[in-house]
Structure 1
Amino acid sequence: MDFFTGPKLLDFKNSPPHLQFNKYVLTGYRPISTYRDCLRSLLYLHNEFGNIYTHGIPFICFLLFLPLSIPWAEVEWWIGVVHYLACLSPTVCSVFYHLFMNHEGGAPIYDTLLCFDMFGVCLVNTLGALPIIHITLLCYPSSRRVAMLAYLLLSGYGVHCAVSAQSNVHRLQSFAWQAIFRLVLFVLRLTGAGRGSPTSLRLYLTMDTLALLGGLINISRLPERFSPGRFDYWFNSHQIMHIMVVLSIVYLHWGMLEDLTWLKGYHCPGE
C-alpha cells in the first residue's frame, strides 16, 4: 500500500472499542494504525477526515494571518501573545486528537489525546478571557488582579473537570463557571461599570453563543441521530461543532481588535 492509498475502513461494530462513542456514525472508521498510517489518513476519505480539516485549515489561517492584524506596537505585549495563543490552542489540539485517535497504542493513547483536546478548549476559555478581564476592569487595578487570579483558579478547576469527565455532557458542564464569569464581565460593561469598546460586547456575546450552541449540537448528536449512517463523513454534529468553534474564535478576535483600538485612545479618569 503506497502513501496515497487508504486501508479498508471499518463499520461501527468492528471499529476499535474506544472509538465507538457515536452510535449514529455507522461507517468510515480507520483501523488501528501506526503514526505513519495515521498521517497517511490525511490523504484519503474516512469519518474523521472532516473533523481534521475543519480545524486544521483554520489553524493554518490563524497561525499565519492573525498576527498581521494585531497592533503589536500599540498594546502591551502580553495581551497580543495571550490572545494569539488562545485563538490557536483549540484548533491545533483538536487536529492532533482526531488525527491520531486510532493509533496502535489503543485506549491509553486515545485518552491522552482526548485530554490534550480538552486542554486546548480550556486554554481558549482561559487565555481568551484574560485580556477581556484586563480591559473590562482597566480602571480598577486591585479588582483586576483579584479577578484574574480568581479566573485562573476557576480555569484550573475547569481543566480538571474537563479531562476527567466521562461524557460529552459533563465536558460541556466543565466550562460553565468560566462562561458565568465572562457573563458577569459583560454585564459590567453593559451597565457602564466596566470598560471596553461599545461594539466589542456584541461580538463577545456572539462568541459565547456560538460556542454554547456548538457544544449542545455535539452532545445532542444532531443531525445524525435522525438518520444514522447518512452523515458518517460530512455534516455530522461534531463537524458542525468544529465550524461553530472556529466562528466563535473569529468573533473573539474581532471583539479583541475592537477593544485594542478603543484602548489606544482611552485614559481612566484621574490619569
Structure 2
Amino acid sequence: MWIPLLGFLFLLPVNIPWTQIAVSWLAVVHYLACIMPQLGSVLYHLFMNHEGGESVYQKLLTLDMCGVCIVNTLGALPIIYCTLICYPSTRYMALFSYTALSSYAIYCAITAHSNITRLCSFAWQAFFRFFCFFLRWVGLGSGHPSSLHCYVVMDAVALLGGMINIARIPERWKPGKFDYWFNSHQIMHILAVVSILYLHWGVIADLLWITGYSCPLE
C-alpha cells in the first residue's frame, strides 16, 4: 500500500500536463481524488495493531472510508464537468447535486455495519456517473472519444474488487492458504489501484480535450 501511495503522490503530478489544462481546479481535484484513498488505506492498516479497542478501530475505519468516498466524490467532478461542458446551468446544478449526494453516501458508508451495506452506500454515486456515461454514449454529453471506455472500465474494476472483498475469494475455498498473499483484501487493493489509473487516463484525456473544444452554436 505504501508503493501505490508514493507512486500517486510523487509520480502523478509529473504525469498531469498542468500548463495545458485550461480549468486548473479540475486537475487539482483529480490529483486529490487519486491520492486520498491510498492515504486513508495506509493510515488504516498502519495502526491496525492498536490496543484501543473498538472505538479506535471505528475511527480508523472511518478514515479509510473517507478516502474511498473522496475518490468517488472528487473523482467524478471532472467527469460531470466535461460531460456537461456545453450546458453551464445544468453542469453547475449537477456538480452541486452530486456533491450533496456524496455527502449522504459518506454518512451511509461510515455508519454501515457490514461490507455489503458499505458497498451499497456508493450505489447512488455510481448511478449518477452511469447517467453521465449514458449521455456521452447517446451523444448528448461531451468528452474525449477514449475517456468513456476508461470510465466504464474504472467502475467495472472497482465493483469487481468490492465484490471479491465481500465474497472473500479465494480464501473461502482454501482457509488458511491465503492469509499472507493473494487474499481477497489484497486483490481488492490491486484492483482499486487499477481503477484509479483508468480514472486518471480518462480524466486527463477529457481535460486536455475541453481545452481546445468549442461547443456548437445553437
Query: TM-score, normalised to structure 2's length?
Result: 0.97
Residue 113 (structure 1) aligned to one of 40, 60, 63: 60
Q: Residue 234 of structure 1 aligns to a residue in which SS? A: coil
Task: Quote the offset at 1:105 in angstroms.
Answer: 1.6
Instruction: Structure 1: state its 5+ residue gaps.
Output: 1-54
Q: Residue 224 of structure 1 aligns to a residue in which SS? A: coil
CA distance in 2, matches of 1:69, 1:101: 33
Q: Residue 269 of structure 1 aligns to a residue in which SS? A: coil
Instruction: Structure 2: state its 5+ residue gaps.
Output: none
Which letter maps to 2:85?
L
Alignment of 1:98-177 (within 5 A): 98-177=45-124
Q: Residue 45 of structure 2 aligns to a residue in which SS? A: helix
Which letter maps to 2:20?
E
Which has a greater percent of helix?
A: 2
Equivalent residue number for residue 97 of structure 1: 44
Which letter maps to 2:10?
L
Equivalent residue number for residue 256 of structure 1: 203
Which letter maps to 1:110?
Y
Equivalent residue number for residue 52 of structure 1: none
Does 2:10 align with 1:64?
A: yes
Q: Which whole-Å deviations, capped at 9, do the CAs of 1:155-185 have from their partners, x for residues lacking one? A: 0010000000000000000000000000000
- Conserved 8 A contact 1:59-1:92: yes
Residue 220 (structure 1) aligned to one of 167, 178, 199: 167
Task: Quote the offset at 1:243 in angstroms.
Answer: 0.2
Q: Residue 90 of structure 1 aligns to a residue in which SS? A: helix
- Conserved 8 A contact 1:207-1:251: yes
Q: Residue 193 of structure 1 aligns to a residue in which SS? A: coil
Task: Indicate the structure (1 or 2) with the bigger Cα radius of gyration.
Answer: 1
Equivalent residue number for residue 135 of structure 2: 188
CA distance in 1, matches of 2:51, 2:173: 32
Equivalent residue number for residue 24 of structure 2: 77
Q: Which whole-Å deviations, capped at 9, do the CAs of 1:171-210 have from their partners, x for residues lacking one? A: 0000000000000000000011000001100000000000
Which letter maps to 1:229?
G
Task: Quote the offset at 1:74 in angstroms.
Answer: 2.4
CA distance in 1, matches of 2:110, 2:116: 13
- Conserved 8 A contact 1:215-1:241: yes
Equivalent residue number for residue 177 of structure 2: 230
The farther-off stretch of 245-254 and 99-108 is 99-108
What is the alpha-carbon root mean square deviation over aligned residues?
A: 1.0
Query: TM-score, normalised to structure 1's length?
Result: 0.79
Q: Which whole-Å deviations, capped at 9, do the CAs of 1:134-164 have from their partners, x for residues lacking one? A: 0000000000011011101110010000000
Equivalent residue number for residue 21 of structure 1: none
Task: Quote the offset at 1:108 in angstroms.
Answer: 1.1
